[in-house]
Amino acid sequence: MDVLELTALLEAETINLGENGKIKTGYCGDFLSFAMGRAPSDCAWFTVMSNVNVAAVALLAEVSVVVLCENVSPDENLTARCKTEGLNIIKTPLSEYAAAVKLGNAIGI
């Protein structure tokens, strides 16, 4: 699955689209220190965190896309940093759990 396919699957809004990377798995978490050390590369990171630090963690962890759940909107600094860095970020009305289940069902995990 790629970022555009996930965006459609989750009925998500694109905040920023960089490279349409592949998604191999998902990761749910709102503690940035956990995500930094535990989110696998090439994953969709499901979170409700919406500040600029999310971009730094996404870059370090090499995630394919940040998925802001429950219609959380990114703050201005996060949006700007994602555009500067070419990070994929989308937002969905789904909860982290519901979004992760949809991804899991779609890719067979």
Neighbours of 86 (CB within 10 A): 11
Token duo for residue 74:
């990114």
109 has a pLDDT exceeding 90: no
Domain boundaries, the chain: 3-107
> How many angstroms separate the CA atoms of 104 and 72, rounded?
22
Note the CATH number of domain 3-107.
Answer: 3.40.1390.20
Residue range 55-65: mean pLDDT, rounded: 97
The per-residue pLDDT for 21 is 93
Residue range 98-103: mean pLDDT, rounded: 98
3-state secondary structure of 27: strand
> How many angstroms separate the CA atoms of 7 and 12, rounded?
5
- Full-model pTM: 0.97
> How many angstroms separate the CA atoms of 51 and 20, rounded?
23
Residue range 11-38: mean pLDDT, rounded: 96
pLDDT in tens, 68-91: 999 999 999 999 999 999 999 999
Residue range 78-106: mean pLDDT, rounded: 97
pLDDT in tens, 32-58: 999 999 999 999 999 999 999 999 999
